[in-house]
Amino acid sequence: MEEGTTFPSIDRCASIGRENDTVVADMDGTLLRGRSSFPYFALVAFEVGGAIRLLFLLLFAPIAGFLYYVVSESAGIRVLIFATFAGMKVSDIESVARAVLPKFYSSDLHPESWRVFSSCGRRCVLTANPRVMVEAFLKEFLGADLVLGTEVETYGGRATGFVKRPGVLVGEKKADALKAAFGVETPPEIGLGDRRTDFPFMNLCKEAYIVPPKPEVKAVTVDKLPKPIIFHDGRLVHKPSPFMALLIILWLPIGFLLACLRIAAGSLLPMRLVYHAFWLLGVRVTIKGTPPPPVKKSSGQSGVLFICSHRTLLDPIFLSTALGRPIPAVTYSVSRLSEMISPITTVRLSRDRATDAAMIKKLLQDGDLAICPEGTTCREPFLLRFSSLFAELTDELVPVAMVNRMSMFHGTTARGWKGMDPFYFFMNPSPAYEVTFLNKLPSELACGAGKSSHEVANYIQRVIAATLSYECTGFTRKDKYRALAGNDGSVVEKPRLKPNKVMGC
């Protein structure tokens, strides 16, 4: 093709019989619907550098925009890279690229581009974005074989904020990178781009198609994604546009004070008043189903074990709020700060099956108890595998379906400091929890009737999943932390001077 050729639209590209073809695509505006990369730089800035770095990026954004439109695309992107990456550990950037960005990238996947891209046997992406920021998503979730992007200078394991030669990959530099990767004699079959600076590399391909800007085009739906994103990390719920980034910065001090007030109300007031206090402070608690009455200690009857789906570490607190009485909970690990500010008693599990079983049985003799058998939280509409230990200990089992809504911040983290989890949840303008009490497990379906503990655990998982319209999975706590943090989630406990019974959740 000759320079200046008007390329046909992407919807005219056939996607049948492309198994032996190679496709080369741009990213922003082509594979993704959105043409701006600012939101993804903002995510890296906030997740690695916090509000101060996000503010720094926001202050530089007008300069980047001016240079982008007046000087060159390359100059604008250089400013964004410097404002975002300067001084950051490369390992932190890679961590965000692996655990945070895929969720947001996948929610903006262009349906027509993906139709063509996914149909080809070999897939390459040419992008002006830093390779370190996009490669994990493109290779793991879109099946890209080769990612050619802007390379960032590093020193001592940290990014300097400058770019390596040949500079930002735009215009002729994309064409040069394509020639170096494929050679002149074996050009790719298909080239996909969305703007004039993509034309040089598109002209090298046997076929080339333009992706016209159509804001009304809907992104690829979740059920059609090449790989479902079950685990993801990061504090921000929504992709931050410049306006949203400004709103987050302005809201943070207000939200933190509001969170402290909400936490104080939950910790200091009697549990029977917490429900009403939360509503007055903008925390919505919805209760469905009929919970069982509290067990009288004089009756000698064992307490009820509430089996909760796990959304945040606040699940047992909102269970107690719904019941109007504090329910102790067993947990694997929480921060010291969460222990200090929590209104309910928790007992840490040792991960030794015999020891934990004896401890839970003793606690049930004193009254009702709550447990989250998933062992860790999941943000998406999936339930992780239920540990079967609880089913061996009592037949008095009440499933509880927990679901929450957050509009600005996630109240969980796999990579950050867990002590801030309750604060981030309560920093949302109007967070909400829905607690649904399901029917007590029938005696004929319990272990006492000859059912195995695995059968009971799987049955309760399915019942809760059906109530929430969630999907059951076999993933575990270790799977989550390996995917997001590169470890198995184990916490080495420091020696305690007091018994292993503390206030917390």
Do residue 208 and residue 258 come from a single domain? Answer: no
Does residue 236 lie within any of the structural domains? no
DSSP state of 302: P
The low-confidence residues of the chain, meaning pLDDT below 70, are 1-5, 297-300, 488-505
DSSP state of 13: S
Mark which of 194, 224, 254 sits at the end of a domain: 224
Does residue 234 lie within any of the structural domains? no
Q: What's residue 497's pLDDT?
A: 35
Degrees (nearest 5) of the Cα angle 70, 76, 82? 150
Chain centroid to Cα 27, Å, comes to 21
Does residue 2 lie within any of the structural domains? no
Q: What's residue 299's pLDDT?
A: 61
| 383 C-beta neighbours (distance < 10 Å), count | 23
Do residue 25 and residue 165 come from a single domain? Answer: yes
Q: For the domain that residue 36 is a member of, what is the CATH number?
A: 3.40.50.1000
Do residue 368 and residue 477 come from a single domain? Answer: yes
SS3 per-residue string spanning 73-103: HHHHHHHHHHHHHCCCEHHHHHHHHHHCHHH
Q: What's residue 503's pLDDT?
A: 30
Do residue 60 and residue 165 come from a single domain? Answer: yes
- Find the domain containing 104 and state its range: 10-224
Does residue 442 lie within any of the structural domains? yes
Stated as kind and residue range, the H or E segment containing 369 is: strand 369-371
Q: What's residue 185's pLDDT?
A: 83
Name 371's Cβ contacts closer than 8 Å, sequence gap at least 6.
305, 306, 307, 308, 329, 330, 360, 390
Domain count, the chain: 2
Q: What's residue 494's pLDDT?
A: 47
Do residue 73 and residue 191 come from a single domain? Answer: yes
Q: What's residue 490's pLDDT?
A: 61
Q: What's residue 489's pLDDT?
A: 62
Do residue 212 and residue 316 come from a single domain? Answer: no
Contact 404, 311 (CB under 8 A): yes
Please, where are the H alpha helices in 330-452?
A: 336-341, 353-366, 421-426
Does residue 203 lie within any of the structural domains? yes
Mark which of 191, 224, 257 sits at the end of a domain: 224
Closest CA to 201 of 221, 217, 181, 216: 181
Mark which of 193, 224, 255 sits at the end of a domain: 224
Does residue 1 lie within any of the structural domains? no
Instruction: Note the pTM of the prediction, 2 decimals.
Output: 0.91
Does residue 495 lie within any of the structural domains? yes
Stated as kind and residue range, the H or E segment containing 49 is: helix 38-66
DSSP state of 314: T
Do residue 159 and residue 79 come from a single domain? Answer: yes
Do residue 35 and residue 153 come from a single domain? Answer: yes
Does residue 410 lie within any of the structural domains? yes
